[in-house]
A and B are shown apart, each in its own frame.
Chain A
Amino acid sequence: MKRFSQLAWPYMIWVVLMILLPMLLILVYSLTTSGNEIVNFTFTFAHFQKFFTDPDFLLVLWRSLTIAVKTTIICVILGYPVAYFIARSSDRVRNILVLAITLPMWINMLVRTYAWIGILSDGGIAQTILGFFGLKDMELLYTEGSVLLGMVYNFIPFMILQINTSLCKMDKSLLEASADLGANKVQTFLRVTFPLSLSGVVSGITLVFLPAVSSFFIPKLLGGGQFFLIGNVIENQFITVGEWNFGSAISMIMAVIMMVCMYAIRKIDEHNSGGGNQES
């Protein structure tokens, strides 16, 4: 086994170069004042102070988190039944369905989001169809609904695939055992299937929530310039304002929030699977 540990070196170098070093740079940026040379640091907490003492920024952060939470909840509610249905299908059908879920992901996310602009815009297909039902002139684009739609649409495949994998991995004999012991279908689902698929749900939540919190192009395209979430604030600080230090500070804050979320989610997951093992 020891010989193989050497094989990890390229991976380590990759991690240091591509992940650790950029993160450190962001950290350095977030703690220094702008305009100084790398050799001549002036440390400051001013950027963090600026963020946390301004109610406007905190409100934006709060809105970004709520939208991400909403996205995640919708993804679980819509994604679970789909994943369940796919997992229960025969092998052939399942492969086709999984392909159908993954297929759109071959097209660039940005392009697919642009397509929604055409569908939702005033006088677009969606409005025409709603017009038949007497809901004429309903604003669809540039609303919170359109941003949510864009997020759910882009991120739900991750949820479905994760849940589907965990459902497929499940030992079918457990279901038979449950039936043998007199549980009906609902009881089996609630007490066997669902708890065992929770790990999939949890990793699905991670994969949906994290990108949803920091996404900036979906709100920009589907929410318009007046829909400004935390990802847009960061982008704006880098591209337009030119305040890389403040932008880095917000990025650090987001990184910490995400790490805390991931840690919490993992704890819940461990707690659950730990419980499951004891019972079996």
Chain B
Amino acid sequence: MKKLLTSLLAVATMFTLTACGGGSNEDKPYAGQELHLYNWGEYMGENFISGFEDLTGATVVVDYFDSNEAMYIKVANGEPYDILVPSDYMIERLIQEDLIQKLDKEKITCMDELVEDIKGLPYDPNNDYSIPYFWGTVGIVYDKTKVSEADLEKEGYNIFLDTKYKGDIYLYDSERDSFMMALKALGYSMNTKDEKELEAAYNWLVKCVETMEPEIVTDEIIDNMAQGRKALGLIYSGDAANIMSENENIGFYMPETGTNLWSDAMVIPKNAENVELAHEFINYACSYDAAMDNSSFVGYTSANQEVMDELANGDFEGINAYVPRTGNDKDEVFEYDEATRKIISDYFSKVKIAASNAQ
């Protein structure tokens, strides 16, 4: 027994030694350095981080956030990260407030591999600051056994006011997605600055929470819809793709009145400590292998064209949520406007209070 242990130990030591030797190898120029990554939870493939570490020899320290707003507070208060993955409108805000830096375009080698539709979007017209990571839309996830498609087509987002489905719906706990739904249900632009329209949307949401007994959730919707616990929910396309690959009774519907075309992209904050390595990371994240790992594991649509095409015809074949809709004039990209954001935030906290008081 003792002998066995000793030999095991010896083998283990040998491995450690080789591992160390590999780490200090000259073709790993970033050995010993650290990259601080701030990303969404459940947004990376299983081998995504270790793949980058193997490639560069650097260590990646990951923190997770669950809302753009939570991320913003940390970054605005000076927490030093090398890479963030915020959404479109938040990138716009970070640019306006001078919190992120321009990318060194010469170091970014992956632009040609990306999907054309998500390059040069209004929040960053020349991709000076950001390189897309995932993208998608927002739509209605529904249980085909409980919801008729005729209802969806006829009512669009107003199905969330249809008392036939009372107590059987999920809302998403995010102010901009909730207001997008309400504004689109009413036929307005989701980027409206008109206070009357915003108030109408607020009233729409209050009516919904007061009459429909919704549950206001975030990521819980994924498991719950996959197990068919409720009939309807507002959801990101990537989460819907994930659910649909688990449960074939689930469908994803995008109302004709329009939806939000969103993208999450990688940016480098002003106070990043390892800008060089951050550029390296962006290139890595866009590359075929890494993007494939991420997208096939998480279910969100890849920004890499080849990966997207391959998955759309492979793992996610027949799942309409995986390929975001393009070509509908009423689909919009969210724009950041401080004054409107304040109004919407204020309204949304009152919607939640109304939901709570309605119980």
Which residues does A use to contact B, with CB under 8 Å? 56-57, 59-60, 63, 121-123, 142, 144, 224-229, 232-233, 236-243
Contact = CB atoms under 8 A, between A and B. Distances in A.
Nearest to A144: B359
A229 B353 CA distance: 8
B215 A122 contact: no
A123 B227 contact: yes
Nearest to B69: A240
B217 A239 contact: no
Given A122-B224, A225-B216, A226-B352, A56 B175 contact: no
Interface string B324-349: 00000000000000000010011011
B193 interface: no
Interface string B215-234: 11110000010010100000
A228 B175 contact: no
Given A122-B227, A242-B69, A242-B345, A233 B215 contact: no
Contacts of B348: 240
Top-9 shortest CB links A-B = A225-B216, A228-B356, A225-B173, A241-B345, A226-B355, A226-B216, A228-B352, A240-B69, A56-B353
A227 B356 CA distance: 5
Contacts of A236: 349, 352
Contacts of B224: 121-122
20 contacts: A60-B357, A63-B357, A122-B224, A122-B227, A122-B229, A123-B227, A144-B359, A224-B216, A225-B171, A225-B216, A225-B217, A225-B218, A233-B353, A238-B73, A239-B67, A239-B69, A239-B70, A240-B345, A240-B348, A242-B73
Given A224-B216, A241-B346, A242-B73, 5 more contacts: A56-B354, A142-B215, A228-B353, A228-B356, A239-B73
Contacts of B105: none
A238 B76 CA distance: 13
Interface residues of B, number: 29
Contacts of A122: 224, 227, 229
A241 B349 contact: yes
Contacts, number: 75
Contacts of A60: 353, 356-357
A57 B216 CA distance: 19
A244 to B, nearest CB: 10
B136 interface: no
Given A122-B229, A241-B346, A242-B345, A228 B69 contact: no
B345 A57 contact: no
Given A56-B350, A233-B349, A226 B214 contact: yes
A226 B359 contact: yes
A209 B185 CA distance: 43
Contacts of A238: 73
B209 interface: yes
A49 to B, nearest CB: 15
A101 B346 CA distance: 42
Nearest to B358: A226
B69 to A, nearest CB: 5
A237 B356 contact: no
Contacts of B359: 144, 226-227
Contacts of A239: 67, 69-70, 73
Interface in B37-71: 67, 69-70
Contact of B217 (A123, A224, A232, A233): A224
B356 A63 contact: yes
A215 to B, nearest CB: 14
Contact of B355 (A57, A59, A228): A228
Contacts of A57: 353
Contacts of A242: 69, 73, 342, 345
Interface string B67-100: 1011001000000000000000000000000000
A109 B153 CA distance: 45
A266 B352 CA distance: 36
Contacts of A59: 353, 357
A224 B218 CA distance: 9
Nearest to A238: B73
Interface in B162-176: 171, 173, 175
A241 B356 CA distance: 18
Nearest to A59: B357
Contacts of B73: 238-239, 242
Nearest to B214: A226
Nearest to A244: B73
Nearest to B174: A240
B354 A240 contact: no
Q: Which of B70, B345, B349 has the most CB of A within 10 A?
A: B349
A57 B349 CA distance: 10
Contacts of A121: 224
Nearest to B223: A121
A237 B346 CA distance: 9
B209 A240 contact: no
A240 B349 contact: yes
A241 B347 CA distance: 10
